[in-house]
Every structure is written in structure tokens, then in C-alpha cells.
Amino acid sequence: MGIGYTLGCLVSIMLWNFQRQKVFKLTDNYCCRFIRIKAARYVVYLLIILTAVGLTAKYGNGEIVNFITAFLVIDISTSERENINIKDVKFHKTISIVCKSLVCGFCAPLFYILIFGNYFAVLYFMLYNLCCCSEYEIFEIVLNILTIIPAFIVQVILYLIYIFTSKKYTMDFKGDYIVNSLKKPLLNIEIMAAYIEAVGFYYHIYENDTSYIKIYGEEKSKVEEIQVKHYLGVIYIAAFFMFLGFMSVYLI
């Protein structure tokens, strides 16, 4: 039991250069070319999603289906692919990619496999990749809601890593932790990344016709390439423990 998920996850990481988002991007470009009305594209994508989810639900039992599902929905290697040849340190952009990969490409699919089954992981996977391709506001709202709990799970693990590595217990979210958790669930994880690596994190905010920047983390620390590389290692450690937790619960 569970061999399908294990092999699927392993093969997904090994074939890190397989770009799922590129497939979605090409499909979306093709769809936009022939279907100019966004509402019509919503209908088309909804039908595609429902078909994929329905097929997965119908044939969702068995290790082969588990293998295929895990291979498709696990995409944590996006972080490695995007940052493997870093020349200029762009901590904010890099951390955003890495955190999104951990939550949306790893934790969330595994979480929804446990709670609902393969079909729901496929649903999340398709919504996530469609939102990466273009601005589909309705899908983004649904995706944001579905990301709240997985993001919280990741926060717990990163907080434990922060305590272990820094011997500290406090992080300053500028009073926005709850708001961020509901509206921007990935932002808190990016802030935690800054604290783990002891660097400054600058977040640009525009609201009520006012533009300003909030600063989190350690302002005095200079961002170095080694810190970005180190955080990639932290992400894989977190992913390892999450997969152990997933298999432990799945096999119970």
C-alpha cells in the first residue's frame, strides 16, 4: 500500500525538467486564440476540469492510478528548475517561487489526497496551473480558499525548523498574520523564509490609492546566494517530513 504515491513522487522529483505549466500555458494560449470571450473559456476549462476529475474519481483506485496522480500533481521541483542556475540573487522572487512550489506543488495535493482522494488533488492541480498561466479571477478565489489549510501546515513545519535552527521563538508579522492567512496564504510563508535565513523581506502593498512597503525579517542582513541555496534545502527537508506524515496517515 502506498507504493504508487511513493514512486510517483520520486519520479516527479527525478524528472524535474518536466514542465507541467508549459503544457498548460500552450493550451491556454491556444484557447485564448480561438475563444476570445473569457466567460466562454471559463466554461471550456470547467468542462475539462470536471471531465478530468470525473475520470479520476471513476478509476481512482489502484496503485497505477496513484502513481499517475502523484507524478502529475507533485511539482516541487519547479523551485529547483527555476533557481538551478542563479546568477543574480533575487531573494524575493526566488522565495516566492520556492514557497509556492512547496505549498501548491506538494503539500496541498498530498493533503487533498488524504482528505478527499485523487480526484480532488487533480482538481487543485488544474486550478493551480491555470492560475499560473493567466488571470482567471474566479479560479484564483477558489484556489486561494483551498490553499489556506495546506499553507498553515507548511507554516507549522517551517516554524519548527526556525526554532531548531535559530533558537528563537518570535516572528513579527506586523499584525497581519490572520489577514494574510485568509487573503494571501503564501505571504506568511515568504515572511517566515526571511526569518529562517535572517534576511530582510520587502513586500509592496497598494491599497486605498496608497502605495507603501512593509519590511519583515532582519533588515541588517545582506542577501547572499548561499542563503537562497540553503532555503532550497530547507524546503526539501520540509517536504520530506510532510511526505512521511502523509504516508503515515495514509497507511493507518
Number of Cβ atoms within 10 Å of the Cβ of 204: 9
The dihedral sign for the CA sequence 31, 141, 128, 137: positive
| Dihedral over alpha carbons 184, 171, 224, 16 (to 10 degrees) | -50
CA distance 144 to 242: 21
CB 115 within 8 A of CB 249: no
Q: What is the pLDDT of residues 27-51, one digit of tens each?
A: 999 999 989 899 999 999 999 999 9
Number of Cβ atoms within 10 Å of the Cβ of 121: 26
Question: In sequence order, what are the residues at sequence separation of 6 or more whose Cβ sits closer than 8 angstroms to the Cβ of residue 201?
Answer: 91, 92, 95, 190, 191, 193, 194, 215, 216, 217
Q: What is the pLDDT of residues 225-252, one digit of tens each?
A: 677 778 888 888 999 999 999 999 988 7
The predicted structure's pLDDT at residue 116: 94
The predicted structure's pLDDT at residue 84: 47
Q: What is the pLDDT of residues 198-209, one digit of tens each?
A: 887 777 776 666
Alpha-carbon Rg for the chain in angstroms? 19
CA distance 8 to 16: 12
At 45 the three-state DSSP class reads: helix
Angle between helices 118-133 and 63-73 (to 10 degrees): 20
The predicted structure's pLDDT at residue 207: 67
- With cell 482538481, the residue in question is 123
Q: Identify the segments of the chain with pLDDT beneath 50.
A: 84, 86
Residue-wise over 19-37: b if at least 16 C-beta within 10 A, else e? ebbeebbeebeebeeeeee
The predicted structure's pLDDT at residue 103: 95
The predicted structure's pLDDT at residue 109: 96
